[in-house]
């Protein structure tokens, strides 16, 4: 593996490879978040109500959860460059078909197909990014690839939403298909030509699931990230019903969230390359605090914008969790890296669901902050358990045999 990493560093210019991978991340981030803002438009056009149209969002998330482990396990033997090109080609076709959906049921199918390559792409792209640089800069390389997704929340989502309003919702998906095709071209031109791993197999990849540390790291992300989504999902409703501001301010505040997410991603990677465990602990504690402050700051637009920026910064947790999975997965790198995004989408379902239960119970929209803080605290507990078990295993390994 070390020789393969050395070959990657010398075979391609890291900046060009990372840019190519980031374009794919930008395309995925745009369609994942913009679909929510386009929901009222395709609901009206397809003749369905808004809650029913929301199933298209769930279908995409289900595709991510289902596709990540299956594609990673069966594609581990392929050259990573080939796998990335194939995944983005499928992603381009599926989003193009989403733009042409003639009915609600076809829309569900095409959104599910669009989600299938998502997790595997990010998992493989993270491995390629890490292979381009020395180990002490691994997290920063991963963060630069992930920056495509975070920048999508600042630029891609508003542009797709504007196109949906000005030209029709179908253009919001069509532009993602074009971005995916651009990624195919850029990866084909710049990604290192690796030989693949002939020893890889689905069974070897599945060995990752035998490692408790893999499960605990995934659980840290699935629970700890849920808090961010508990708040983010209901930000627009909170602004209108609690902060009492015009709907026109919603895109601005969501962009502020994206700026926080981008800066948090880059800062957390720099810190993780120096101490990964402390970075994860620090970010989870950060999320516990800022999410708990959300109910206190949601009544004023200026304080709301500030706390949304700080909550976005806490989203930098993703890169250290991805790096942690690489450390604990052994030889099953592809599956473990892809499963990170299955866990991320579980968080995307868990947070809004629990937040919705709190709202429905009469605790109000701002109660999502308390739910989010509790989830971040739960993620911290899981991670501390992971570290305690890791230290115990290390101590037992050095006890001399009598």
Could you report the per-residue pLDDT of 41-75, keeping only the tens digit for each?
Answer: 788 888 877 667 777 877 888 888 888 888 877 87
Q: How many domains does the chain have?
A: 2
| Same domain flag for 219 and 318 | yes
Residue carrying the six token digits 């800069």 = 137
Residue 2 predicted with pLDDT over 80: no
Q: Residues with Cβ < 8 Å from 348, sequence gap 6 or more? A: 61, 225, 226, 229
- The pLDDT of residue 86: 94
pLDDT digits over 85-107, tens only?
999 999 999 999 999 999 989 99
| Same domain flag for 163 and 14 | yes
Residue 298 predicted with pLDDT over 60: yes
Q: Which of 181, 200, 219 delimits the end of a domain?
A: 200
- The pLDDT of residue 89: 97
What is the pLDDT of the chain when averaged over all its residues? 85
Q: What is the pTM of this model?
A: 0.79
Listed range (13-27, 48-62, 311-325) with the worst mean pLDDT? 48-62
What is the CB neighbour count within 10 angstroms for residue 255?
17
Range of the domain at 307: 204-402
197 vs 280, residue with greater confidence: 280
| Same domain flag for 217 and 167 | no
| Same domain flag for 268 and 402 | yes
* Residue 112: pLDDT band with limits 50, 70, 90: very high
Dist. CA 231–CA 203, nearest whole Å: 39
Q: Which of 313, 294, 299, 316 is nearest to 256 (CA)?
A: 313
- The pLDDT of residue 208: 65
Dist. CA 118–CA 391, nearest whole Å: 34
Give percent above pLDDT 90 in the chain. 34
| DSSP tag of 401 | P
Give counts: helices (H), strands (E), the chain: 19, 0
Residue 15 predicted with pLDDT over 90: no
């Amino acid at each position: 593996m070390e020789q393969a990493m050395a070959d990657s560093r010398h075979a391609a210019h890291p900046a060009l490879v990372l840019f190519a991978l980031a374009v794919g991340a930008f395309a995925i981030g745009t369609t994942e978040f913009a679909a929510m803002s386009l929901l009222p438009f395709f609901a009206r056009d397809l003749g369905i109500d808004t809650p029913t149209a929301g199933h298209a969002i769930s279908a995409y998330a289900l595709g991510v959860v289902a596709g990540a482990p299956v594609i990673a396990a069966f594609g581990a033997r392929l050259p990573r460059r080939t796998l990335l090109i194939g995944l983005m080609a499928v992603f381009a076709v599926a989003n193009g078909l989403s733009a042409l959906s003639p009915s609600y049921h076809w829309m569900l199918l095409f959104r599910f197909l669009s989600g299938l390559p998502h997790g595997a792409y990010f998992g493989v792209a993270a491995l390629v990014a890490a292979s381009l640089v020395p180990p002490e800069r691994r997290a920063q390389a991963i963060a630069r690839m992930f920056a495509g997704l975070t920048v999508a929340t600042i630029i891609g989502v508003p542009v797709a939403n504007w196109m949906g309003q000005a030209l029709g919702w179908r253009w919001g998906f069509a532009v993602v298909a074009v971005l995916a095709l651009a990624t195919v071209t850029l990866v084909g031109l710049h990604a290192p030509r690796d030989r693949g791993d002939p020893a890889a197999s689905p069974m070897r990849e599945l060995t990752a699931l035998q490692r408790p540390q893999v499960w605990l790291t995934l659980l840290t992300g699935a629970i700890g990230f849920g808090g961010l989504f508990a708040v983010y999902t209901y930000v627009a409703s909170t602004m209108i019903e609690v902060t009492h501001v015009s709907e026109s301010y919603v895109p601005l505040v969501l962009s502020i969230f994206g700026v926080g997410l981008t800066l948090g991603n880059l800062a957390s990677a720099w810190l993780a390359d120096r101490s990964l465990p402390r970075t994860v602990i620090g970010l989870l504690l950060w999320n516990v605090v800022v999410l708990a402050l959300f109910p206190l700051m949601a009544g004023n637009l200026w304080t709301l914008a500030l706390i949304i920026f700080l909550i976005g910064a806490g989203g930098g947790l993703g890169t250290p969790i991805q790096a942690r999975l690489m450390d604990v997965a052994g030889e099953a790198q592809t599956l473990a890296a892809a499963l990170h995004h299955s866990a991320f989408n579980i968080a995307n379902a868990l947070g809004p669901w629990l937040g919705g239960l709190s709202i429905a119970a009469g605790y109000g929209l701002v109660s999502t902050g308390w739910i989010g803080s509790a989830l971040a605290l739960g993620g911290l507990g899981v991670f501390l358990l992971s570290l305690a078990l890791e230290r115990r295993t290390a101590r037992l390994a050095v006890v001399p045999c009598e």
